[in-house]
Amino acid sequence: MSTAAIDWGFAPHPVDYEAAVELMETRVAAITAGSAPELIWLVEHAEVYTAGTSAKPSDLIDPDRFPVHRTGRGGQYTYHGPGQRVVYVMLDVRQRFHGDVRKFVYVLEGLVIDALAEFSVVGVVRPGRVGVWVKREDLGAGREDKIAAIGIRIRRGISFHGLALNVAPDLSHFDGIVPCGITDHGVTSLQGLGLSVSMGQADAVLKQVFEREFGTVRDIGALSATAVSAQHAAG
């Protein structure tokens, strides 16, 4: 596995979804060319529905509720919005995982599970259901709610998109879609589980578990989509 330093940054303000995708495209090209280090970028978005490559039109229940963006990541429909921590992961999967995308997704799921454990929440993964789930026996036998979604894209061995952890979003906003095409289970958050966790606390734990897996990251602080795009355009 590569031991090269990974940049760790966050967006200080909500990021437009299309601007975030443009940033990822620019950064992935730079990583591929060897002109920029890998990057893990933490953001929040304004309310938006995104459609992955497997999204079914029938799963978009309320198309007029929020903007809808088609995206090249894997998966189906999901929601992004305030109170949800989106972690965009731009890593060299060729070097770190010998190109094994399944293993990469498995590691991302494990990182979320480890982060949840820091808040005494037991996360699980299920065959056929990408993402991380929590058991909700209080809501019915066999009920499990999704607390984190994962959707990635690989271009020339470099990943982008990533994972979304529900810290304290408005869960009613998921009602406009069939999240990830699954109707038999629900969606929850740390707040929905009765936990008062700030975004800063979630970020600190995420950084901790990522460093356990990848080694010490290089904290580059606040990064806006505009600033990063300008940086690479100038470079």
Tell me how crowded residue 218 is: count the other CB atoms within 10 A of its CB.
13
Q: Residue 166 and residue 82: Cα distance in Å, rounded?
A: 10
Which one, of 7, 60, 47, 21, lies nearest residue 221 by Cα? Answer: 7
Which one, of 55, 67, 166, 161, lies nearest residue 108 by Cα? Answer: 161
> Tokens for 64?
């007029």
Inter-residue contact 50 to 84 (CB < 8 Å): no
Q: Which residue do the tokens 């031991």 mark?
A: 3
Residue 161: its H or E element: strand 158-166
Catalytic (active site) residue 180: yes
Which one, of 28, 35, 8, lies nearest residue 218 by Cα? Answer: 8
The active-site residue out of 180, 190, 202, 205 is: 180
Positions annotated as catalytic residues are: 180
